[in-house]
Structures are given as structure tokens and as C-alpha cells.
């Protein structure tokens, strides 16, 4: 892409030959002073005015801050010349940050395109292998593709795919021998793929199923490649260096389509072609490796993509999906920090809503449920503009609703964690019944929405997909209470047939989870016992997966009355991913050692919480050390937790407190690594 931009800049610089510098600034060259082959093909009656505008344009940056005053100046000289409208449209496009901004930018851009087609049809339609014939036309072709590209994005960013496609068909009729900024057939393929779940009844350019639409998108890419081959005859002597970038553009979209279809070998083929051309799209390749379950490679690709982040006003997918990896790695606080940084840097621009979803998810898996809820609501209230991504409003809404479901389930579990004998407290039971009703309502809402989603087989049931915006564990929350027979068969089949070697174990884990819910503990254990031995398990990047194995093993042991085994599995779960334990309904073996100016009310309330098993500890036990201090009016609690080998599970931290009830509850969660300091905070 950089090479292409440099070449295009060279073309633009040739316009400067239409003016020369005098002693007091620019000295205008009259049209008749130029050789005929260098004269721009302006309408005869407008030649003087437009030649003056062309001279003023040279050296002016279309995408600079002076574009708006230049547009006004150009329109004063000749309001029927496309350049004034082009500069106005470019300025508004580059400053648009929401729906209204792009809608306003579309108006002058559409006007510029109309004027250009009216006055410059001849140069736009010129196809030649003669440089002298090509030279006077190339600037108009270049400008046309810039205008059309910006206008296409305006329509796309305001959710008008029918206008996008009509514009692309309009641009295709010129059969330009270079793509420049607008790769027409690639953009057609992208538009079809982005709207693949709709039918011909909604948008006339579509077919009537996802499969047919994906085939149509592939045909447009094939047409793009055929166009490049046909143009080769003309272009081999005129800017032949543009041909290779155009081929790479086709490969880029081939990657997207084959990745979505999970045709792994084909996707790898085109990624390798782009790698050989030194044009590997690191963000897309990271997404592809994520879908394949190769999280280690995905993370390294996202880091490279982040280095090339140009600060565009759009969702940076590498940042959103990197936070998912942090959850898989059990590094929830790193994910929180990443998403907070993205929110701070982007402000209320496109991507803000997605980052709040990512932040809410990380907070959820860190056990900070009230904070997660706050950011879910922020995302729900934000009008996200989906720019440069196939992730649309349906993905956005689904992600929010699913997180709301998990948040409500966690709130229900919090009643049990915060009240060991919850069944003796009518007010607690009333709150649990209220939460349970909200869970059922949320499930009903999602399932109704989900039933109308034609992509559920391709995206949700596959657990990992290029078009998925949720984690495999969130999908588990979605399906665990519905049609167990259907899903057991579905996931068993996927475990046998899916060609992604790193992913197959996840289908088996899902089956085991259903068996646990059905109290088929021996069937579940037959699967669970094998999962930690999977040769493709990358422990550092799959701690969430391993933690769920431990949790299910603990549930099986509890169901089978094997207390020691249950405590052992809970100990392993706690030492691996402590934030999950309070939401399991089970209590880990934890000895809590209090010292200092112990507050008796805090101590009494702490004993009422389901922090530690109350029976004699029959299995491995973690040691929690809590110290109360008081300096003047300030009261602090410091704490840390170590395993039975003396290694820190929760590092030493402290917090100030005032109210005993809140302090006991706060301390209880903190003993499970919930909340507390961010990873880069100063040590105690």
C-alpha cells in the first residue's frame, strides 16, 4: 500500500508542471503556452477558470486542514468545476466521527462525482497504451477514484449498502485500466460479504442465502483478477508497478472469504502470497490464527498490527481481540488496562462502543461485576459507526445482550457468595428470585434474536469464527440451558469433523459441560480426564480453558460425593484463575489469618461470606494473610494469599475502608484477585 501511495503522489506531483514559481510567488502559465499533449481536457468555455484552479491546487493537500478554505476559493472561481466540491467533501470526510458527519460529507462528494462525469467523460473512458494519450487523463481518473472511494465509505458508514453498490456499478462502467483508490470489484465482494446474511428482498444486489452470497462475492473477486489480466496489455508500458498491488488487493479479500468459510488451506495460500509480497495484513492474519486456535501466533500478529495503528477513527480490531486473548491467558487486568487506554485515546469516535464491550468483558472475568455492568450500558447507549469492518450492528447488539446475560448470572451467584446461608435470609432469597426472573427474560430475548440469525451455524456453533465477537466461554453461557441433546450431538460432530487441530478440544469441553449439567458425571469425567493431556494445549494461552476443566471436575467430584477430589480441583482452579471461584457456588479451602487492629464487625461479616469451606479441610489449602492497621482516622487492610508451596496467588496489596459491611465484602472478593491493582501499578 505504501508503494502505491508513493506512485500516486508522483502522479499528483505532475500537476505542478502546470505552474512555475516567480519572484513574488506563483506565476500562472496560460493553457496555450503548454504543448497540446500536456493540456488538461477542460471544456473550452471554462478553460481559463479551471486552469487557474488547477494552478492553485498544485501543492495543496487534499486531506489537509486548508482543504475547506481552498474549496470555497475554488467554488468562487468556478462553482461548476468538481474540484471545489471534492475539497469540501474530503475535508468533511476526514473530520467525520459519527453518522451525521459522514452523511454531511456525502453531499459535496456526490456533487463532485456528478460534475466530473458530466464534464470529463472522455478522459475517464480513455483506455490506451500510449503515454502521451494517457498523461492528460490520469489526474482525472485518480481524482474520480478518490471521490468515489470517500463517497462509498460515507454510504457504508451510514448503513446504506444499496447506495454503495449502485456507486460501484456506476464506477465500473468506466473500465479504468488502473484501480487507483477504488478497487471496484473487490469493493463489490466486500459489500456482498458484509451483508451476506440478508437476501435479495432487502438488497437487490444480493442472492437469497449466505452460501449464495459468499459464492457471489468470490465471483466478484475473480472478475477483479480478470480485469487486472486484461489491463496488463495496456499497463505493461504505463505504470506496470501498480499491477502487483492490485493483485494483492484481491488476495486480501480472498483471505477474508476463505477465513470466514474456514477453508484453512485456501486462506493460508493467499496469506502466504501476501507474505511473499511483503504485504501480510497482520490484523487479519491475527484474526485468522485466532480462529484456528493458535493464540500464541495471533497475539504476536496483533502486536505487530498495533505498531502500524495509524490512529484511524475506527475500531482497531487487534485491540478488541487482544483483550479476549488476555482473558484466555488469565490476565484480565492487562485486558482492562488495554481497553481503558483505547477508550482514552479514541474518545467518542467509532470504536468507542466496541472498546467498552471489551472492557466490560475483561471486568466480568476479573469478577468486577458492577463495573462491567456500567460499561455494558455505556456500549448499549453509544451509537457505534462500523467503519472498515465486517462486524456490524447485529454483532454489536448480540455481544451486548450476551454480556448482559452473563452479568445477571454472576449477580445471582454473588448472592450465594456474599451470604453463606442465603436460604435463611428472605430478603436475599427475594433478590435471587428477582435475578432469576431477569435471567430468564434475558435468555428469552437472546434466543428470539438468535433464532433469526442465519449465521448461527457458521459463527456461533463453530465456537471460533472470523465474524464472532464473543468468546467460546460466552457461547457456553448462551447454550448451556437449552436443548442439551441437540448441542451434545452438534459439538460431538464438530469435535470429530473440524479440521482445526487446536479447536477440537473446545467442542469436547462443551459436551462435558452439558454432561455435568445433566448429572452424567462419569460421562463428563471420561472427557475431562483427557483434556489436560491434549497435545495441542498451550497452557500459557489457554488458562481459561484449563480452569473450566478444573471447575467441571470439581462439580463432578461434588456430585459423586468425593470431597477430597472436589477440594483438590477447586484448589487447582483457585491457584490458576481465582476470579472464577466466587461464581461457582463452591468454597475453596482457605485459611484466613487475621492480625493487627482487627475490627470485630468486619471479622464477623467475613465469616458469613462463602469465602472458605467451613468443614475440616480435607485437601490442599491456600493461606490468606490479612492485617488491619489504623493511623489517625485512616483505616487500612493489607492482604495477600499464597499456595501450599509458598507462591503468591494474590500479591500483597492494601485498601482503605470506612464501613465494616463494605470492607468485609471488598476483602472477600480481593482474596480472589478481584479488583485491586492494575498490572503496572507500583508495588507495596
pLDDT more than 70, % of the chain: 92
- Per residue, what are the HEC states of 260-304? HCCCHHHHHHHHHHHHHCCCCCHHHHHHHHHHCCCHHHHHHHHHH
Which SS3 state, helix, strand or coil, does residue 650 take?
strand
Would you state the CATH architecture of domain 281-443? Alpha Horseshoe (1.25)
**Residue 22 has what pLDDT?**
34
Is 405 in contact with 477 (CB distance < 8 Å)? yes
User: Cell numbers of 640, please?
Assistant: 495477600
CA distances from 155 to 91, 165, 169, 191 (A): 16, 10, 14, 11
User: Cell numbers of 11, please?
Assistant: 502522479
Residue 41 pLDDT grade (very low, low, confident, very high; cuts 50, 70, 90): confident
As a whole number, mean pLDDT of residues 585-612 equals 94
First to last CA, the chain: 48
Q: Which residue has the cell 456507486?
A: 167
Q: Facing residues of 637 across strands? A: 628, 655
Q: Is the pLDDT of residue 25 over 50?
A: no
If you ran DSSP here, which 8-state letter would residue 460 be given? I
Q: Is the pLDDT of residue 202 over 90?
A: yes
Distance CA 459, CA 469 (A): 9
Is 570 in contact with 581 (CB distance < 8 Å)? yes
Residue 97 pLDDT grade (very low, low, confident, very high; cuts 50, 70, 90): confident
Q: Is the pLDDT of residue 123 over 50?
A: yes
How many C-beta neighbours within 10 Å does residue 268 have? 17
Q: Is the pLDDT of residue 500 over 80?
A: yes
How many C-beta neighbours within 10 Å does residue 523 have? 17
Q: Which of 333-337, 382-386, 509-513 has the lowest mean pLDDT?
A: 382-386
Q: Which of 320-334, 424-438, 439-453 has the lowest mean pLDDT?
A: 439-453
Distance of CA 169 to the CA centre of its chain: 30
Sort strands 648-656 and 622-631 into parallel, antiparallel or unpaired: unpaired
User: Cell numbers of 203, please?
Assistant: 438488497
Distance CA 110, CA 106 (A): 6
**Residue 6 has what pLDDT?**
39
Tens-place pLDDT, residues 458-473: 888 889 998 899 999 9
Q: Which residue has the cell 493464540?
A: 295
- Tell whether domain 2-279 is in CATH 1.25.40: yes
Q: Which fold has domain 483-586?
A: 1.25.40
**Residue 31 has what pLDDT?**
53
- 360's enclosing H/E stretch is helix 352-365
Between 147 and 446, residue with greater pLDDT: 147
Is 547 in contact with 573 (CB distance < 8 Å)? yes
Q: Is the pLDDT of residue 11 over 80?
A: no
**Residue 456 has what pLDDT?**
80
Q: What is the CATH number of domain 590-670?
A: 3.30.160.150
Domain positions in the chain: 2-279, 281-443, 483-586, 590-670
As a whole number, mean pLDDT of residues 230-248 equals 91
Same CATH fold, 483-586 and 2-279? Answer: yes
CA distances from 36 to 55, 132, 195, 373 (A): 17, 10, 48, 69
As a whole number, mean pLDDT of residues 370-398 equals 89
Q: Facing residues of 594 across strands? A: 626
Q: Is the pLDDT of residue 131 over 70?
A: yes
Q: Which residue has the cell 482445526?
A: 500
As a whole number, mean pLDDT of residues 257-262 equals 94
Q: Which of 131-135, 272-276, 455-459, 557-561 has the lowest mean pLDDT?
A: 455-459
Residue 10 pLDDT grade (very low, low, confident, very high; cuts 50, 70, 90): very low
Q: Is the pLDDT of residue 349 over 50?
A: yes
Tens-place pLDDT, residues 648-663: 999 999 999 999 999 9
Q: What residues have CB less than 8 Å from 133, skipping those under 6 apart? A: 37, 126
pLDDT more than 90, % of the chain: 75
Q: Is the pLDDT of residue 18 over 50?
A: no
Q: Is the pLDDT of residue 398 over 60?
A: yes
As a whole number, mean pLDDT of residues 282-301 equals 95
As a whole number, mean pLDDT of residues 495-520 equals 95
Closest Cα to residue 389, out of 452, 311, 318, 339? Answer: 318
CA distances from 393 to 194, 297, 676 (A): 11, 29, 34
Q: What residues have CB less than 8 Å from 675, skipping those under 6 apart? A: 366, 367, 368, 666, 669
Query: What is the residue-averaged pLDDT of the chain?
Result: 90
Backbone torsions φ then ψ of 154, nearest 5 degrees: -60, -45
Amino acid at each position: 500500500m505504501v508503494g502505491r501511495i508513493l506512485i500516486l503522489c508522483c502522479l499528483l506531483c505532475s500537476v505542478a508542471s502546470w505552474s512555475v514559481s516567480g519572484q513574488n510567488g506563483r506565476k500562472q502559465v496560460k493553457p496555450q503556452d503548454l504543448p497540446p499533449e500536456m493540456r488538461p481536457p477542460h471544456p473550452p468555455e471554462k478553460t481559463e477558470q479551471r486552469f487557474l484552479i488547477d494552478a492553485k491546487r498544485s501543492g495543496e493537500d487534499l486531506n489537509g486542514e486548508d482543504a475547506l478554505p481552498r474549496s470555497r476559493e475554488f467554488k468562487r472561481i468556478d462553482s461548476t468545476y468538481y474540484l471545489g466540491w471534492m475539497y469540501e467533501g474530503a475535508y468533511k470526510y476526514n473530520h467525520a466521527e459519527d453518522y451525521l458527519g459522514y452523511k454531511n460529507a456525502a453531499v459535496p462528494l456526490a456533487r463532485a462525482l456528478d460534475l466530473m462525469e458530466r464534464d470529463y467523460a472522455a478522459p475517464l473512458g480513455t483506455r490506451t497504451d500510449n503515454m502521451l494519450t494517457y498523461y492528460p487523463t490520469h489526474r482525472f481518473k485518480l481524482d474520480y477514484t478518490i471521490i468515489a472511494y470517500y463517497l462509498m465509505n460515507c454510504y457504508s458508514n451510514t448503513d446504506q449498502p444499496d447506495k454503495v453498490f449502485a456507486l460501484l456499478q456506476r464506477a465500473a462502467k468506466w473500465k479504468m485500466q488502473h484501480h487507483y483508490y477504488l478497487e471496484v470489484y473487490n469493493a463489490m465482494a466486500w459489500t456482498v460479504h458484509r451483508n451476506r446474511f440478508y437476501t435479495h428482498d432487502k438488497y437487490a444486489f444480493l442472492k437469497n442465502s449466505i452460501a449464495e452470497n459468499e459464492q457471489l462475492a468470490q465471483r466478484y473477486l475473480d472478475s477483479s483478477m480478470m480485469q487486472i489480466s486484461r489491463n496488463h496489455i495496456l499497463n505493461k508500458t504505463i505504470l506496470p508497478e501498480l499491477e502487483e498491488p492490485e493483485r494483492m488487493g484481491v488476495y486480501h479479500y480472498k483471505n477474508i472469504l476463505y477465513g470466514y468459510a474456514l477453508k484453512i488451506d485456501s486462506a493460508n495460500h493467499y496469506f502466504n502470497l501476501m507474505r511473499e509480497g511483503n504485504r501480510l495484513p497482520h490484523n487479519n492474519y491475527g484474526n485468522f490464527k485466532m480462529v484456528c486456535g493458535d493464540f500464541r501466533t495471533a497475539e504476536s500478529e496483533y502486536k505487530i498490527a498495533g505498531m502500524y495503528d495509524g490512529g484511524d477513527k475506527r475500531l482497531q480490531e487487534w485491540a478488541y481481540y487482544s483483550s479476549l486473548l488476555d482473558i484466555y491467558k488469565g490476565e484480565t487486568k492487562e485486558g482492562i488496562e488495554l481497553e481503558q487506554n483505547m477508550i482514552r485515546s479514541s474518545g467518542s469516535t467509532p470504536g468507542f462502543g466496541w472498546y467498552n464491550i471489551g472492557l466490560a468483558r475483561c471486568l466480568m472475568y476479573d469478577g468486577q461485576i458492577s463495573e462491567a455492568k456500567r460499561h455494558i450500558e455505556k456500549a448499549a447507549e453509544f451509537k457505534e459507526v462500523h467503519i472498515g469492518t465486517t462486524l456490524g450492528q447485529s454483532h454489536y447488539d448480540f455481544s451486548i445482550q450476551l454480556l448482559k446475560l452473563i452479568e445477571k448470572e454472576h449477580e445471582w451467584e454473588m448472592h450465594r457468595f456474599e451470604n453463606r446461608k442465603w436460604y435463611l435470609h428472605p430478603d436475599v432469597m427475594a433478590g435471587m428470585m428477582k435475578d432469576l426472573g431477569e435471567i430468564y427474560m434475558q435468555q428469552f430475548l437472546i434466543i428470539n434474536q438468535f433464532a433469526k440469525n442465519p449465521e448461527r451455524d457458521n459463527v456461533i456453533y463453530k465456537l471460533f469464527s472470523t465474524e464472532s465477537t464473543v468468546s467460546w466461554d460466552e457461547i457456553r453461557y448462551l447454550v448451556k440451558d437449552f436443548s442439551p441433546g441437540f448441542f451434545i450431538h452438534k459439538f460431538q460432530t464438530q469435535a470429530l469433523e473440524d479440521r482445526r487441530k487446536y479447536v477440537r478440544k473446545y467442542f469436547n469441553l462443551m459436551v462435558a459441560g452439558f454432561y455435568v449439567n445433566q448429572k452424567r458425571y462419569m460421562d463428563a469425567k471420561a472427557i475431562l480426564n483427557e483434556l489436560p493431556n491434549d497435545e495441542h494445549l498451550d497452557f500459557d494461552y489457554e488458562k481459561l480453558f484449563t480452569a473450566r476443566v478444573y471447575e467441571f471436575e470439581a462439580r463432578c467430584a461434588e456430585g459423586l460425593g468425593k470431597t477430597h477430589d472436589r477440594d483438590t480441583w477447586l484448589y487447582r482452579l483457585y491457584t490458576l484463575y481465582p476470579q472464577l471461584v466466587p461464581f461457582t457456588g463452591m468454597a475453596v479451602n482457605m485459611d484466613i489469618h487475621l492480625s493487627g487492629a482487627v475490627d470485630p464487625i468486619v471479622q464477623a461479616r467475613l465469616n458469613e461470606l462463602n469465602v472458605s469451606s467451613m468443614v475440616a479441610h480435607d485437601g490442599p489449602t491456600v493461606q490468606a494473610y490479612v492485617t488491619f492497621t489504623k493511623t489517625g482516622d485512616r483505616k487500612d487492610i493489607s492482604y495477600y494469599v499464597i499456595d501450599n508451596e509458598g507462591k503468591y496467588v494474590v500479591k500483597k496489596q492494601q485498601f482503605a475502608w470506612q464501613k465494616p459491611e463494605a470492607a468485609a465484602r471488598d476483602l472477600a472478593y480481593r482474596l480472589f484477585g478481584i479488583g485491586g491493582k492494575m498490572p503496572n501499578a507500583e508495588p507495596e
